[in-house]
A and B are shown apart, each in its own frame.
Chain A
Amino acid sequence: GAGVSQSPRYKVAKRGQDVALRCDPISGHVSLFWYQQALGQGPEFLTYFQNEAQLDKSGLPSDRFFAERPEGSVSTLKIQRTQQEDSAVYLCASSFSQHYNTEAFFGQGTRLTVV
């Protein structure tokens, strides 16, 4: 499809397990964002890429969270040693430009449940 694609849609992990969440942005989109959405809350910023460069990772909650976009297209968000508080929906968004008034499109998200 033409939209932002995220996989898997659902992931159940045992506490302490490592997980990797994938985001396929819209083709040609320069900017890519990751957000975390806890149940009943609005999305919260995690990190931002412009092409392959990670320009802002100020929202990553701990050093267990790591994101990469090595070729400037597909991105992976990795969470090591998952904990129950990591349970949330992880949203990816992409936009075709880094200029203002070019807003990002969101994917459907990956719902992570840590048990």
Chain B
Amino acid sequence: GQQLNQSPQSMFIQEGEDVSMNCTSSSIFNTWLWYKQDPGEGPVLLIALYKAGELTSNGRLTAQFGITRKDSFLNISASIPSDVGIYFCAGRANFGNEKLTFGTGTRLTIIP
């Protein structure tokens, strides 16, 4: 099935560094979401974006819905150990609570 292109695939950073990851699609989405998944758990929603150009923050996390509706990025500032995990973007093509198309994931590792 289709998966969105997410980059980078993995990141190795030191505690306190800022992180940036993005997600691109060949088709338009009307909703962009960012999730974090820890081992053995389901994805947990971090940020939801519903309008092209929208910039939304949740604590140290900031995400933007691209103007073209085909991309989104997520920034994490001043990373801490609990930020370790896999981050997924997800897009929804239709207005209405329907299926999500997920990205391939970015694995974040913090080097001590």
Contact = CB atoms under 8 A, between A and B. Distances in A.
Interface in A7-60: 31, 33, 35, 40-45, 48, 56, 58-59
B104 A42 contact: yes
Interface residues of A, number: 30
A42 B3 contact: yes
Nearest to B3: A42
B99 A56 contact: yes
B66 interface: no
A41 B104 contact: yes
Contact of B99 (A45, A97, A108): A45
Contact of A48 (B50, B99, B105): B99
A106 B42 contact: yes
A108 B4 CA distance: 23
Nearest to B50: A101
Given A42-B3, A48-B98, 15 more contacts: A35-B102, A40-B105, A41-B104, A42-B103, A42-B104, A42-B105, A45-B1, A45-B99, A58-B99, A100-B50, A100-B96, A101-B31, A103-B33, A103-B97, A104-B97
19 contacts: A4-B42, A31-B97, A42-B4, A42-B104, A45-B101, A48-B98, A56-B99, A59-B1, A93-B42, A97-B97, A98-B97, A100-B31, A100-B96, A101-B31, A103-B33, A103-B45, A105-B45, A107-B42, A108-B41
